[in-house]
Structure 1
Amino acid sequence: MAIVSYPKKTSAEWFIEQLNVENAKLLAFVLVLGFIGYHGILHLRYGPDSCTWLLTSGRYKGDHEWQPYGCMLHKYSKTDARRCLRYLAFWGKYNSFAFIGDSRLEQLYEYFIGVLKTRSDLDSSYSTIDHRMPNYTYVDSKLKLFVTFIWSNDVSKTMVDQFRAWQRSNRPPSVIVASTGLQLVKNRNTTDVILEEYKRNLTQLVQPIDALASRGTQVLWKLLEPVDTTLIKDDVKINNHDIDAYNSAAMEILRHSEARVWGAARLVAAGSAGGETLTRTALRHCAQILLNMFCNDHMNFNDGSCCAQPESYTQLQMLTFALFLLCAVAASLRYIWRWSQNIKQKMDGYALVNQPTVVHPPSPVLALAKLGMIMAYFYLCDRTNFFMKENKYYSEWSFWLPVGYVFALGLFFTDDSRSSRVLHRNQTDEWKGWMQLVILVYQVTGASKVLPIYMLVRALVSAYLFLTGYGHFYYTWKTGDTGLVRYFRVIFRLNFLTVVLCLTMNRPYQFYSFIPLVSFWYTLVFVIFALPPHITQSSSHTVESKPYQYLYIALKIMGLLTIVTVLYMSEVFFQKIFVTRPWKALFVNSDDDIHQWWFMWKQDRYSMAYGIIFATAYLLAQRYNLLDDNNHSNLFTPGLSLTATLLAFIGIGTYVTFTFLCNNTFDCNEIHSYVAFLPIVSYIILRNVSGALRTKHSNLFAWFGTITLELFASQSHIWLAADTHGVLVLIPSAPILNLILTSYIFIFTAHEIHKLTSIILPYAVPDDWRLVLRNFAIFLAILVPIGIHDGMF
């Protein structure tokens, strides 16, 4: 008997074999462990206090906005700043700021009170401004605000005495900002003797600074800002080398005190350098840093994480993670038991040489254990300050360039489709995939501020609901399946991850706004089509004998539109329905407000109906041979195909023109719900009228299309940050590399969650409807105590 020999694989072939999804997930897991170790070292070395990051380092982004190192900066308007001070005054806090230093600090004092002052300041009973050269004082009695500036162009007896006076005061300032030295650089030669004298004088401040810090006063020493020497007169002797020498001396002495060295102010000014005076850009950013430092921990601004403590965990979160831990223990014991049994068999001599490997079915307990580990990573990213966060950054290039890359990459993976019919599975997955990728780019860049882009993304969301209506109606028509098992499987698939995230991340159901929206519309459509008379292909395949079946379809669609119209006509009636207990908790946000649900609902109130109407029209066109999608040819005759293509381009062009012409978001949203079908149907025509396009699809986009739900639900926790207001930072100061690696981990984590959901699904929703109702009753029994605790009943 001849022995067949197989050629040994080359290293290139072996490497290509390793490029698969499972190995990619393993690499993502290793990266996560590496980043946990890296950030753990950063915290051990520099501490976890984001206030230190705020005051120490940062950089300018492309829009010339300041980005602190590792945390998010809220832009305080006059209203925001006064609201913060009013809130603190209400709770009895005395808002006192003191600035002591030279002319540059005087500039910051003037700019700072300019942020706080209003027209009401003309009333002397409301506020007073006392200018007694060289010292100034601003008082706002309603805000319990006291801001003072004390002139001191050196670390002189005046500065030392003032610090000691604050030390003896019964009510020292809340914040003291000190800085001086520019006049020394300007008027005296910088020698070692002068610097030593400067250090000795600074040493006298250490004791009062420490005493003040022990009483809750935050003392900031602002480093001297560099100058643009081209803007300084020739007879003025100021150079950046001398400025750096004074800054080094200050850091050397004050690092032994409780004073915070405000080094970020120097970096802010370096990116917007002026002459002897600071630019308005530098003053604006410095004032914002001060307000973020003072207010963030007391205010509820999602985009201000600097100096803000993360929210504390709840008992429900602890219980949820405890159950995940229990699953992990059970899965580990099961694995150890199987391993010990195999060892025992081998030791007893029962192992067969050619014994086939036993493939055990995926364990739901192991799946839950893995999901718990993933949720722990979610919690670490989003509910703690362990990993860093940064503000979003939008520019035309930052949005359109990644979108262009995405489509170029998607076209590279074009392949033949298994079906030639309109909106076949490969095509709908592809459509969902590229839409989700565009939405992700939209989210990470903060492009919602651009109205045309915002409206185009609204059209993509409407398209997803359109496909949901089309897909479920088409499935019902073909199979006649309107049973409970089908309904609960779809609802479980939609909501499993969302419910787990609500429990582990302490977020309301409406936080994942798109999931409740799809679930609601699917439930409504399911109920309408599950009610008799049932509409299926099997009951109406002989349209000549039973033409009234199509009348039933029309009546059901009209019923859906009637319900939508009635709810839309009265917002009060709408609210009374959806704020009724116990389901109120499903439709209100964390502030117990239903307006977000109302806004989302009314924007796409007709999108599901559009999908059902299109599906009905498509089925009728097939029945009467108005189109032919059973082969690779065009849908219509050449003349009709050309006309349809032209009309489709006009439809998309009309909607794009509308997005540029509408003046405000409110008007655009009101019109959108009536014209949302236009770009969607136009795209379907362009995608399907040609047989060559209809029978091709992008494997890459289709792959993403299978995990759209997981991508949508996960993005706000392990890719974005601070409830989608910022971005997660694993690699600080390298935004492009950080985005690539966080995206990589995010995508393959979503794919693993999709896989785990598929394992758990048949156990949660079995084939027997009685078992399904049993499991649903168990779920309600778990949910009721949670609801009682949270006030749902």
Structure 2
Amino acid sequence: MASRLRALWNDKAVVHRTTVAVIFTAIVAVIFRYCFFDARDPSKCGALMNEGYWLDAPGPSDIGPPNQWQPSGCMLHPYKPKEISTCLEGRRVVFAGDSTIRQVFWAMARKLDPKIEMKGEKHADITVDRSGVKLQFYWDPFMNGTSAIKELKRLEKQSSQRPAIMLLGTGLWFARFESSNPLKPWKDRIDAVVANMNTARKSTDLTHDDFALLSPVPVPVWERLSEDRRKAMKPETVDEMNQYLMQLSHLHGLEVAWAFNRMTEGVPQAYESSGLHVLDSIAEKQAETLLNLRCNAELQQKYPYDRTCCNKYELPNWQQWAILVTVLAMLPVMSYLRTKAQNEGTKTPKWVPSENILSALLIFGFSLVFCFYADRTQVFNKLHKSYTNGSFLLLIFLTAVAGFTTLKKSSQTANDQPFLFRDQTDEWKGWMQFAILIYHYTGASKVPWIYGFIRVTVASYLFMTGYGHTFYFYKKGDYSFKRIAGVMLRLNLLSCALPYIMKTDYLFYYFAPLVSWWYFIVYFTMRIGKEYNGNTRFLLGKIGASAVIATAITRIPGILEIVFGIVNYIFRTSWDVVEWRFRVFLDMWIVYIGMLVAIAYIKLSDPHSPHHHLISQHRQKAVLISIVSLLLFFLFQTTRETKFIYNAYHPYISWIPILAFITLRNATPNLRNTYSAAFAWIGKCSLETFTLQFHIWLAADTKGLLDFGVMGGSWWGNMVVSTAVFLYTSDAVAGATGVVTAWIMGAAAGSGQRRPEQQQQQQNQGISLLPTVNTNQQAAASQDHGKPQGTVDEDAIQRLREEANARRGTKSSGRNEDGAGWTGLKARCALLLAALWVMNLTYSS
């Protein structure tokens, strides 16, 4: 049985078909659940108004109030003053009722102006006017005043004078001061209010664009009430009032903000010491609920799409429709035609790609569709992140256990592996990627010491970028267009496709642009005067000059602005130069450290070098210095008060823990030749995990979490299911991207399914995100000791080309794909760029 399973796994066609089926089934299953269970509330307005829970609900012994309110299935957007004024400019927001409604009024006022002073008499009307928005509160605890009724009458007219939001609430004053029978007069007043609200709703197209709703009767903390209040107000009275409101809601469609009471239910920490009024922070969540109901669908969204409650996502533009139709209709039709031709023994149409290519296109395409339905529709629920030390540390511990339990010796032939060999760098990428994923999922960016550690991991990736590319260019001397195209395609295929289906932009997925930027810097640094690269002084001088020029381009105001302005004008992009400058400068010199380490290793590992003995002679000193350096670095880093303070130091000190780590990781043969298979596996698809996490593991463009709605809404249950789907998809997309890249490069034109051993050899020899190191130390001078990001194995390409030619009964011409003509690689790349340019020119939001 085990041998049969291994055989099936080695059959990549079976794996590809299974992957397509799994992703497609996941999408269909969630859409089915959405259509049948969420159809009554497709925009999550009802969930926002009626349901929710505290992610950080306090325990019985906790003193502090909760902070993170989670509406069922969507995310509450924290509105800022400018956003409020944009949504409600020239409009009024009306509040009428008792002191509990007044609290929501002042909470809204503070959101509009955080510095506002609460003035006015205790039992009087109040008006606040800020940034073109007028907030009005009518003191009307018995709901018998004329002001509230007049405002309800205004709702009947299509006029700018009608309130954009109207909140009314009463009940506790009846319960306290109508001692004989408080329910009767309260019901009479509520019936009158409901009649006016129904008239307004029937006479206009009043929807959630402008709305009036009632607040439920607050349930006090009875044991905290003063003695006179406790004697006057009875729990059964308040319960009957809310039951009556619920009946009216069912019978007449009365809109009641039940979420207000959900926020306080079973949470005495939400109340002030009086037991009657909620804390200001709770009232602000109630005000945010009103703003999300009114403004989420009105404000034009640009990523991040984090207003997921009561929001109607935009209809797809033509680029999105084109991708959806191609993936969901055209590619399946091609697959059907190929399968039918194979079953009937007929000839497959020429315009249908090979089975291997078609499977890769389906996997890649379904991943894009998955991203779209997950993060640009209401099909999947979205949750807020919730950081706790316990969840973060537990996930780190479980990841470490998985890494240590899969330790193994390298399966390569050499007895002692070289410095930073392939399995080791894959492992390095893998555990760093796990750390980054946990950091993003738990929302740990608020913790300065964790942020600093993650910044070092990003710098480590860029260090490997400089090391691997420098090693390759020095050893191979290959500066061909084919080499550039292969690296750029492999790095950017996913990051260039996602902006069109997700309405983001290329720089949003910043890692691929960042390593592409540094690839070209390393390329030109090594390419200029390449015939003198053997001269160490000349090479070091070039690296130093490159660092000065790159720093000047990044730091001198105006240079990047001009470059980005030209690019944005010609290619109709909207790249943010401020964000890009921050990303580049944060790791400004770590790539050059990687280049210097590569040159140093090449020189010191040469047995003919007079300095060859330095490595073994000073090994113990290097280990001791590394241990001390790591301890001092983390002591310094963990004592920085904020992440902004640490950022100021990071470009200058990030090399310390990186060099210390690689020194310790390679300190002994046993350490050097042992690696974690689990970490190495995730390291092989780290580009895909980093990019796809934006939409199919996280949600709302990384601001929240994707919820599959399984296991009763359990955070841990959803995390396990979503992680399994996410990692499986990332691994499949990594393999598919490599195949599609090779296809564009001209490797698989006309070819059928590759032999499993060829696929495995290509995977081992360099289709990966970051530097891969050849495991044969004796052949290091002639082979790729450090194949860098996005490498495409050219030997495998040639074998596939010859295989395809053999099937066609021809011989390989050995023609370089850099050649001229519309079938050459340069022409294909030019057509691809032209197609992207046309899509940019015709892009519609």
| Letter paired with 1:520 | W
* Match status 1:773 vs 2:826: yes
Match of 1:147 in 2: 136
Conserved? CA contact 1:49–1:307, under 8 Å: yes
| Letter paired with 1:549 | N
| Secondary structure at 2:616 match in 1 | coil
Aligned counterparts of 1:33 and 1:168: Cα–Cα separation in 2: 43
After superposition, the C-alpha distances for 1:401-432 in whole angstroms (9 at most, x for unaligned) are 21222112111111111252111100000000
| Letter paired with 1:289 | T
Match of 1:575 in 2: 561
Tell me which of 333, 337, 340 is aligned to 1:333. 337
| Letter paired with 2:507 | Q
Match of 1:43 in 2: 38
* Match status 1:621 vs 2:599: no
Aligned counterparts of 1:294 and 1:287: Cα–Cα separation in 2: 11
| Letter paired with 1:745 | V
Aligned counterparts of 2:736 and 2:195: Cα–Cα separation in 1: 59
Q: How much has 1:256 moved relative to structure 2?
A: 3.2
* Match status 1:279 vs 2:279: yes
Tell me which of 62, 67, 79 is aligned to 1:64. 67
* Match status 1:565 vs 2:551: yes
More divergent stretch after superposition (665-674 vs 174-183): 665-674
| Secondary structure at 2:125 match in 1 | strand
| Letter paired with 1:304 | R
Q: How much has 1:337 moved relative to structure 2?
A: 2.5
Aligned counterparts of 1:429 and 1:245: Cα–Cα separation in 2: 64
The structure-2 alpha-carbon separation of the partners of 1:118 and 1:758, relative to structure 1 and needing over 3 Å to count, comes to: closer
| Letter paired with 1:406 | T
Unaligned segments of structure 2, at least 5 residues: 57-65, 747-796, 798-816
Tell me which of 99, 103, 114 is aligned to 2:99. 103
Conserved? CA contact 1:152–1:159, under 8 Å: no
* Match status 1:54 vs 2:43: no
* Match status 1:690 vs 2:668: yes
Q: How much has 1:438 moved relative to structure 2?
A: 0.5
Tell me which of 261, 264, 276 is aligned to 2:256. 261
Aligned counterparts of 2:674 and 2:630: Cα–Cα separation in 1: 22
| Secondary structure at 2:252 match in 1 | coil
Q: How much has 1:678 moved relative to structure 2?
A: 0.9
Aligned counterparts of 1:485 and 1:764: Cα–Cα separation in 2: 11
The structure-2 alpha-carbon separation of the partners of 1:58 and 1:625, relative to structure 1 and needing over 3 Å to count, comes to: farther
Q: How much has 1:89 moved relative to structure 2?
A: 5.6
Aligned counterparts of 1:34 and 1:322: Cα–Cα separation in 2: 19
| Secondary structure at 1:769 match in 2 | coil
Match of 1:609 in 2: 592
After superposition, the C-alpha distances for 1:718-738 in whole angstroms (9 at most, x for unaligned) are 111122111112227322211
Conserved? CA contact 1:648–1:682, under 8 Å: yes
| CA-based RMSD | 3.5
Aligned counterparts of 1:615 and 1:396: Cα–Cα separation in 2: 38
The structure-2 alpha-carbon separation of the partners of 1:505 and 1:249, relative to structure 1 and needing over 3 Å to count, comes to: same
| Secondary structure at 2:681 match in 1 | helix
Q: How much has 1:111 moved relative to structure 2?
A: 3.6
Match of 1:320 in 2: 323
Q: How much has 1:493 moved relative to structure 2?
A: 0.8
Q: How much has 1:42 moved relative to structure 2?
A: 2.4
Aligned counterparts of 1:769 and 1:526: Cα–Cα separation in 2: 18
* Match status 1:87 vs 2:86: yes
Q: How much has 1:585 moved relative to structure 2?
A: 5.3
| Secondary structure at 1:149 match in 2 | strand
Q: How much has 1:327 moved relative to structure 2?
A: 2.9
Match of 1:484 in 2: 481
The structure-2 alpha-carbon separation of the partners of 1:701 and 1:206, relative to structure 1 and needing over 3 Å to count, comes to: same
| Secondary structure at 1:580 match in 2 | helix
* Match status 1:753 vs 2:733: yes
The structure-2 alpha-carbon separation of the partners of 1:172 and 1:561, relative to structure 1 and needing over 3 Å to count, comes to: closer
Match of 2:766 in 1: none
Q: How much has 1:134 moved relative to structure 2?
A: 4.2
After superposition, the C-alpha distances for 1:90-109 in whole angstroms (9 at most, x for unaligned) are 5xx42x22222233223333
Conserved? CA contact 2:361–2:736, under 8 Å: yes
Conserved? CA contact 1:648–1:686, under 8 Å: yes
* Match status 1:252 vs 2:251: no
Q: How much has 1:510 moved relative to structure 2?
A: 0.7
The structure-2 alpha-carbon separation of the partners of 1:343 and 1:758, relative to structure 1 and needing over 3 Å to count, comes to: closer
| Secondary structure at 2:382 match in 1 | strand
Match of 2:63 in 1: none
Aligned counterparts of 2:345 and 2:4: Cα–Cα separation in 1: 33
| Letter paired with 1:339 | N
| Secondary structure at 1:423 match in 2 | coil
The structure-2 alpha-carbon separation of the partners of 1:773 and 1:141, relative to structure 1 and needing over 3 Å to count, comes to: closer
Q: How much has 1:303 moved relative to structure 2?
A: 3.7
| Letter paired with 1:519 | S
Q: How much has 1:650 moved relative to structure 2?
A: 1.7
| Secondary structure at 2:633 match in 1 | helix
Conserved? CA contact 1:84–1:298, under 8 Å: no
After superposition, the C-alpha distances for 1:191-235 in whole angstroms (9 at most, x for unaligned) are 9xx767755654443332123333534122211222222212445
Tell me which of 699, 718, 729 is aligned to 2:696. 718
Alignment of 1:210-609 (within 5 A): 210-213=198-201, 214=204, 216=206, 217-235=210-228, 236-237=230-231, 238-270=233-265, 271=267, 272-274=269-271, 275-299=275-299, 302-324=305-327, 325-341=329-345, 362-417=355-410, 418=412, 420-534=417-531, 549-581=535-567, 588-589=574-575, 593-609=576-592
Conserved? CA contact 1:382–1:721, under 8 Å: yes
* Match status 1:789 vs 2:789: no
More divergent stretch after superposition (288-297 vs 662-671): 662-671
| Letter paired with 2:409 | D
Match of 2:59 in 1: none
More divergent stretch after superposition (233-242 vs 595-604): 233-242
| Secondary structure at 2:408 match in 1 | strand
Conserved? CA contact 1:61–1:67, under 8 Å: yes
Match of 1:137 in 2: 126
Q: How much has 1:680 moved relative to structure 2?
A: 0.6
Tell me which of 713, 716, 720 is aligned to 1:736. 716
Aligned counterparts of 1:587 and 1:642: Cα–Cα separation in 2: 53
| Secondary structure at 1:579 match in 2 | helix
Aligned counterparts of 1:27 and 1:366: Cα–Cα separation in 2: 13
Aligned counterparts of 2:610 and 2:447: Cα–Cα separation in 1: 40
Conserved? CA contact 2:306–2:703, under 8 Å: yes
After superposition, the C-alpha distances for 1:367-411 in whole angstroms (9 at most, x for unaligned) are 323332322221111112222212222232232221222112111
Q: How much has 1:625 moved relative to structure 2?
A: 7.9
After superposition, the C-alpha distances for 1:13-57 in whole angstroms (9 at most, x for unaligned) are 99999999946886565444332222222222x321222211111
Aligned counterparts of 1:371 and 1:160: Cα–Cα separation in 2: 57
Tell me which of 132, 150, 164 is aligned to 1:174. 164
Aligned counterparts of 1:672 and 1:168: Cα–Cα separation in 2: 60
* Match status 1:646 vs 2:624: yes
Aligned counterparts of 1:738 and 1:212: Cα–Cα separation in 2: 43
Aligned counterparts of 1:562 and 1:119: Cα–Cα separation in 2: 46
Match of 1:349 in 2: none
The structure-2 alpha-carbon separation of the partners of 1:64 and 1:573, relative to structure 1 and needing over 3 Å to count, comes to: closer
Aligned counterparts of 1:703 and 1:760: Cα–Cα separation in 2: 21
Aligned counterparts of 2:626 and 2:180: Cα–Cα separation in 1: 74
| Secondary structure at 2:219 match in 1 | coil
Match of 1:670 in 2: 648
Aligned counterparts of 2:88 and 2:287: Cα–Cα separation in 1: 20
Aligned counterparts of 2:504 and 2:488: Cα–Cα separation in 1: 19
Q: How much has 1:87 moved relative to structure 2?
A: 2.3
